Amino acid sequence: MWLPDPRMVDELMADEKIRDGLADELEDARALAESYAKSIMPRKGVSRQVEVVSDTEGVYLTNLHHGAHLDEWGSKNNSPNAPLRRAADGAGLRFEESPKP
């Protein structure tokens, strides 16, 4: 019986070539998220809201805009546009919510 290696993801993320390949794949999702994002609380000089970030633990699609939480989840006055969730779904990726610790 085959059992998956519980350290597989950690071992793959340690390889820079794997991370670079995943970052390239996430560029399509980044472009989708940019197209879905609304201009909530606009600021002058902010051009790109959504970025692909890579470190030794993984590759992430993040929205760094100061109003991104309102765009993603909505509020009393704003309906949720969910650019990150829609982009992940549109690119065929899995969305994993991971707030800051």
Per residue in 44-62, pLDDT (tens digit) is 666 667 889 888 778 888 8
CB 91, CB 32: distance < 8 Å: yes
What's the average model confidence in pLDDT over 56-82?
Answer: 86
The predicted pLDDT at position 94 comes to 79
**Token duo for residue 85:** 């969730």
Domain ranges of the chain: 8-90
Residues paired with 58 in a beta bridge: 55
What rounded mean pLDDT belongs to the chain? 84
